[in-house]
Structure 1
Amino acid sequence: MKNSLVCKLSHGALTLLLTLTLVSSAWASAVTDGLKSTIDRVINVVTDDKYKNDPQARRAKLRGIINPKFDYIEMGKRSLARNWRDLSPQDRKDFIDLFGQLLENSYAKKIESYQNEEILYVDEVIKGKYAMVKTEIKRKNDVIGVDYKLIQNGSDWQVYDFIVEGVSLIRNYRSQFNKIIKKDSFPVLMNKLNKKVKDLEAGTADDKDEL
């Protein structure tokens, strides 16, 4: 009787473990697969010959793919940190609109330099409504690590930060923005952002350049 009970408990524990593993795997694949699907669509546009001589059409197509996957509000809040609290609702909206354009152009510029490198999805970590997907871009002579931080919004997972070779995109912008606001003002930051966006769209600036 005792052995039978132990057997039943062991079987029950094993079933529960397998169930939890399957649920975890389902969530894990949902996060990574959603990101991979977006990146695959972006690469398809970048490598499509019909956009080769029409950069404006290519950028418009990329915008339609990238924007739904990025949480620009979360990115904006994190990049301004405590400065966000001092802004009026209108200033917040204007900043998110402009910062979204900056991020969109910066990411598009990076992805447009794609040259058939292999992208590996090497790991995934989920903690509540936050997740990180670790990827590697394998080039001929080196490997670049790119980690995507995502937040769950409803049934979707959206990117709110990139970490390229250990450097956080949002943390980098936060440092720049804080210096500008502290030294000058928020309107000066907006003017610099506006100029940077226009320069990126005109191809006269590099996304790595500071504001």
Structure 2
Amino acid sequence: MRVWLLGLMSAVLLSFSASAELIKSDNPYRLLEQVAEKTFNRIEAERNQIDEDPNHLKTIVKEELMPYVDNIYASKKVLGRYFKDTKSEQRQAFYKAFTDYIVATYARAFTQYDESKHEVEFVNPKNADKDERAVVVETRVVENGRPPIRLDFRVRYDNSNETWKAYDLVVEGVSLLSSKQSEIAAIIRSRGIDKTVELLNEKAQQPISMDDDVDVPA
């Protein structure tokens, strides 16, 4: 499986709210479709700027994708059992550092995206029942000459913002949230929470180039 593509689509998972006006929709399937379309259209429109300064991809990730995720819920899941072993200040520092790291990681993933080759298809979109508060949105990433990659977004309704937000991505049956939780737990176990936050901040600040690979902290 192409690691960059996993990272690219995973960008919707963890973030903080941007100042841009949110797309509102009672249909989580249509919402994600609109967000994806808007993001990829912007990448195509700003291709020259991206080629000149790949760090511009961070701005696109923050502004177009990140408002549509449940970042606190996902961050707590990633922190896992270490949540109860950390102080409030440490948790807040972790949320911010992990978010910044994710933004940088998936901005790097976008350096491998080619709008002339890749297409995202939404499978069987439908209307969510009025009583539903969690759904799975199925998509496929299509590239000529390669088998489609199955991507299932887990989405939950955020009552505070009155909108649907993604919190996990399951790629070919593998949960990205669970995978990140395992990676981060190993780092916390060996280095402690403060060193983990420091490492994530360092990773997030590294400049982006067009030949970058998706990175994970180690």
TM-score normalised by structure 2 residue count: 0.73
Aligned residue number for residue 145 of structure 2:
141
**Is the Cα contact below 8 Å between 2:57 and 2:110 reproduced in 1?**
no
Query: What is the distance in 2 between the residues matched to 1:41 and 1:55?
Result: 19
- Going from structure 1 to structure 2, the CA distance change for 1:55 and 1:183 (only over 3 Å counts) comes to closer
Query: What is the distance in 2 between the residues matched to 1:77 and 1:124?
Result: 29
Kindly report the root-mean-square deviation, in angstroms, between the aligned alpha carbons of the 2 structures: 2.5
**Is the Cα contact below 8 Å between 1:146 and 1:162 reproduced in 2?**
yes
The structure richer in helix per residue is 1
Matches within 5 A, 1:144-155: 144-154=149-159, 155=162
**Which residues of structure 1 form unaligned runs of 5+?**
1-27
* 2:54 partner letter: P
Q: Secondary structure at the match of 2:55?
A: helix
Match of 2:40 among 36, 43, 63: 43
Aligned residue number for residue 30 of structure 2:
33
- Going from structure 1 to structure 2, the CA distance change for 1:57 and 1:176 (only over 3 Å counts) comes to closer
Query: Residues 104-149 of structure 1: CA distance to partner in whole angstroms, max 9, x if unpaired?
Result: 2223333443323221111469694222111001111221112211
- Going from structure 1 to structure 2, the CA distance change for 1:81 and 1:188 (only over 3 Å counts) comes to same
- What is the percentage of aligned positions where both structures have the same residue? 21
**Which residues of structure 2 form unaligned runs of 5+?**
1-24
- Going from structure 1 to structure 2, the CA distance change for 1:202 and 1:113 (only over 3 Å counts) comes to closer
- Going from structure 1 to structure 2, the CA distance change for 1:56 and 1:208 (only over 3 Å counts) comes to closer
Query: What is the distance in 2 between the residues matched to 1:65 and 1:113?
Result: 18
Aligned residue number for residue 123 of structure 2:
122
> Which region of structure 1 is more displaced relative to structure 2, 131-140 or 85-94?
85-94
Number of aligned residue pairs: give it: 183
